[in-house]
Amino acid sequence: MPTTAPSPKLSTAFEQGGTPLADATASDSALRRFLFGLPGVDAVGLESRAASLGTRSIKTTAKAYAIDLAISMIDLTTLEGADTPGKVRALAAKALNPDPTDRTTPRTAAVCVYPDMAATAAAAVAGSGVKVASVATAFPAGRAALDVKLADVRDAVAAGADEIDMVIDRGAFLSGRFLKVYEEIVAVKAECGPARLKVIFETGELSTYDNIRRASWIGMLAGADFIKTSTGKVATNATPANTLLMLEAVRDFRAATGVQIGVKPAGGIRTTKDAVKFLVLVNETAGEDWLDPHWFRFGASSLLNDLLMQRQKLSSGRYSGPDYVTVD
């Protein structure tokens, strides 16, 4: 299916104020010129397109494929103060074998935990291909000194994290200190070593779609491997509209640079119907190259159970109900 073409305004946006893309981060003023030279977001058009794509229906065979793909894209997550090694091991067991009654069920992409649980998770999934993602940088508020944030990242990577989910300094961003946000991401990326970096914007706190677009470009310019909507800890998390906007950003960034960046919506995606809507957004906006766990993830926990119930219904013709899947 066709994707939306990159914005024709981007080629000129890269040159706004005499600042080409390669030099956009040379100074605070250069970065500001670049970000405010990006095309403004048509909020009505964005929300209308997201809603329209959400009405697409798919055939039963395509639904079976979409369910398995969605399962394989989940970062199965527990980020609670009451997390214990036993809970993390149980979560890892579910990631490895989501449906014990059907061994054809794909594994999830990753388990996502706090840094102090990364070693437990790494031991539980060792050799399986399931990744360990760890939140860091004073998650979820990000209110800590940079050296503390970097130590958080080092500890997680040393404990076996394959991926780091960092939060940006929303206070710095909202007060216009864009270069500070950029430099902090660059510093965190350097500490990640071989681990991939997901940069969380907390879109519900950024107030406007224009801010989400600007944050997306800061993250990508700074070396993010993924851009991620939310922590799941605020009232507004992933929505079709904000995810569509971020998908447009990664599409346009690859068109401009040749570099592909992943997208991770997180928080509030709970049903198979929701997941399929997001996969349609991916296909129609960024394209098939992003329909892969390496480039698209769902930050979720309860979503997996609904996907498993719908998968069982497709295979057996009967709806088993929530009592037939494990409770996270």
Cβ atoms of residues 234 and 248 within 8 Å: no
Length of the chain in terms of residues written: 328
Task: Answer yes or no: 228 catalytic.
Answer: yes
| 209-221 vs 178-192: helix crossing angle, rounded to 10 | 40
- Say how many Å lie between the first and final Cα of the chain, rounded: 36
Annotated catalytic residue, options 75, 152, 165, 169: 165
Cβ atoms of residues 181 and 169 within 8 Å: yes
Strand order in the sheet with 298-300: 262-264, 226-228, 196-200, 163-167, 131-136, 110-113, 74-77, 298-300
Distance of alpha carbon 221 from alpha carbon 237, whole angstroms: 23
Cβ atoms of residues 73 and 297 within 8 Å: yes
What b/e string do you get for 291-308 counting C-beta neighbours within 10 Å, with b at 16 or more? bebebbbbbbbebbbbbb
Token pair listed for 133: 């993602």
Annotated catalytic residue, options 94, 149, 189, 228: 228
Residues 6+ apart with CB under 8 A from 68: 105, 106, 311
Annotated catalytic residue, options 94, 198, 264, 277: 264
Cβ atoms of residues 76 and 95 within 8 Å: yes
Cβ atoms of residues 202 and 168 within 8 Å: yes
Task: Answer yes or no: 264 catalytic.
Answer: yes
Residues belonging to the active site: 165, 228, 264
